[in-house]
Structure 1
Amino acid sequence: MPANLYALGAIALWAALASLGVSLKNVPPFLLTGLALIIGSVLALPHVVKDRRQWQVAPGTLGLGVFTLFGFHFLLFMGLRIAPAVEVNLVNYLWPLLIVVLAPLYLPGFKLRGVHVAAALVGFAGAALAILGGREPAGRAINHAGWGAGLGYLLALASAMIWANYSLQTKRAALTGKRFPTAAIGLFGLVSGLLSLLCHWALEPQVALSGRDWLLLAVMGLGPLGAAFFLWDKALKLGDARQIGILSYLTPLGSTALLMLVTGRALSWSIGLAALMIIGAALLGTRAK
């Protein structure tokens, strides 16, 4: 199905996000996000130049898009600052499960079958195995304790809920004839990027960027924080949100495996088992009518 191909394209790009983030670890998070989102918004300009109405969206739609792109990254980055990164990442990857189980609440005529729930749970178990199997060795782990870790997990959960809500709202708008142009995502990214830069100015130290940093920022902006959002939008508008949610578990698997390769760590048995679980869940979910 074309929709699943669009979703797989977005997933492939998102899988590279963590590796790019490691390569840009010298860049403060909000500066990184702000610049990448603004670079990604450039992809919409050819469509806007042809038709300015592509960016003429309802205030509520603009608010949803900006709230999602900015709120998702803001809450996730704050969670990563105060709680263990592996566990925060795992909680954040509840969003594919939320897309599957909440679909009937958002989408008219959509019913949740047992096969969807089973596939979503197996996919989440595979994602958990991939993330936990890819954690840093114990000697290099950062120790977090106290109430801060719990707050970090809550922020990660809120981030996941924001992305699931946006995804299902996008699908509902398409079903009810209130869809917004895909090019409008460029406007969402531009405004969200500016808000991120404002957070950088207020909360983070100023840094000088090298030519290598700008090159990697361009790759991140045009890929995981640019084209991926456009592909995701097309997938949701054309496909089954339940199937796309299950496919999304390929993201943490690909991200963890690529990150281990980039950092020179050997792939473990847990990554292989996680791959079997996630691919099995994806096949099960996408075959469900």
Structure 2
Amino acid sequence: MGLPSLAGCGALLLWAFLALLARMAAGIPPLELTALAFAAGGVMALGVVAARGRLGALRQGPLAWAHGVGGLFGYHALYFAALALAPAVEANLLNYLWPLLIVLLSGPILGLHLGPRRLAGVGLGFLGCALLVGAGASFPAGAFWGFACAVGCAVVWAVYSVTSKRMAAVPTEAVAGFCIATALLAGVTSLAFETLVMPDARQWIAILLLGPGPLGAAFFLWDAGMKRGDPRLLGTLAYAVPVASTLLLVVAGEGALDWRVGLAALLVAGGGLLAATARDGVTPARR
């Protein structure tokens, strides 16, 4: 596994904490939370880019800005809405359809050959996710829109991630600008459609952790991984994130640890290992 793919794995580790930190910020409207968290992450990222003398990387074309801001804003606004409207564990797990979608879309969009071993890993990972979501999960009727948002954000992030390979010429430092633009867009839409809530101490801590971590450094790592690494491998290894995220919620008292979680963890870890040891190459199947 090369350094770009390892960078993508670092992003997956940070994203394992996304649901837990979002739960800590419960009570903040979704668009306001998106604005505050991205402002924290964007300012930090912009400082790093400025210190490296790379502010010129922010000068990108309209397509790059539409891709970056659309992916970041669309996914996180829908994700935070899903957690606000539906039970957190179920919505979080439903959101993690995106790793499956990344692996599957890398074929038709990028022309990458998946191979039977990698597909078998995907199958094991999907089985683990299906076990977590379907075995004893509660789906109250009133949470329909939350689950719809969860599915929507999975689609948005999968398309954003796979098409990032087509944006390889855009430097990773440009993500700092995308974060700031996302914060501004979320702030404007929050003022237009939501009632402002002043965060308390617990919520501020969650926001300040979300910004530099899952909504800051993770994007730089993921951008490097998807543009210069192997999207099939990262998409399959990402199946470990819902397991880790669920376990963190359980430790925090948001759910119970039972045999389903343990079995799902084994399936997901086995699928990731199977995909990671695939030898079917990374060159496109067609040009």
Same fold (TM over 0.5): yes
Aligned to 1:181: 171
Distance (whole Å) between structure 2 residues aligned to residue 95 and residue 200 of structure 1:
26
Equivalent residue letter for 1:6: A
Deviation at 1:8, TM superposition (A): 2.2
Does 2:191 match 1:215?
no
Deviations for 1:109-131, whole angstroms, at most 9, x for unmatched residues?
A: x2121222221121122123335
Q: Which residue is 2:284 aligned to? A: none
Instruction: Report 1:144-159 matches (<5 A).
Output: 144-145=141-142, 149=144, 152-159=146-153
CA distance in 2, matches of 1:213, 1:84: 19
Instruction: Tell me which of 94, 99, 104 is aligned to 2:97.
Output: 94
Deviations 1:84-104 (A, max 9, x none): 555443432221111111112
Offset at residue 81 of structure 1 (A): 5.3
Question: How many equivalent pairs are there?
Answer: 276
List runs of 5+ in structure 1 lacking aligned partners.
136-140
CA distance in 1 between partners of 2:230 and 2:13 (Å): 19
TM-fit CA distance, 1:271: 1.6
Amino acid at match of 2:264: A
Counterpart mapping for 1:237-276 below 5 A: 237-263=227-253, 265-276=255-266
* Alpha-carbon displacement from aligned partner over 1:28-72 (angstroms, at most 9, x marks no partner): 222111111111112233223513211011110101111111111
Q: Deviations over 1:119-158 (max 9, x none)?
A: 11211221233355695xxxxx67325xx72x55444333
**Compared CA separation, residues 266 and 75, structure 1 to 2 (3 A):** closer
The 1:260–1:142 alpha-carbon spacing in structure 2 relative to 1, beyond 3 Å, is same
Q: Distance in 2 between the 1:98 and 1:158 partners?
A: 12
Structure 1 residues 96 and 30, CA gap change in structure 2 (3 angstroms): same
Deviation at 1:241, TM superposition (A): 0.6
Alignment TM-score, normalising by the size of structure 1: 0.86
| 2:19 and 2:92 in contact (8 A); partners too | no
Equivalent in the alignment of 1:37: 38
Moved more, 79-88 or 205-214: 79-88
Aligned partners of 1:211 and 1:82: how far apart in 2? 23
Please state how far the C-alpha of 1:243 moved relative to its aligned partner.
0.6
Secondary structure of residue in 2 paired with 1:181: coil
Q: Which runs of 5+ in 2 are unaligned?
A: 280-287
Q: Is contact 1:96–1:248 with CA below 8 Å preserved after alignment?
A: yes
Paired residues of 1:66 and 1:189 also in contact (CA < 8 A): yes
RMSD over equivalenced CA pairs, Å = 2.4
Percent sequence identity over aligned pairs: 40
**Who is 1:67 aligned against?**
70
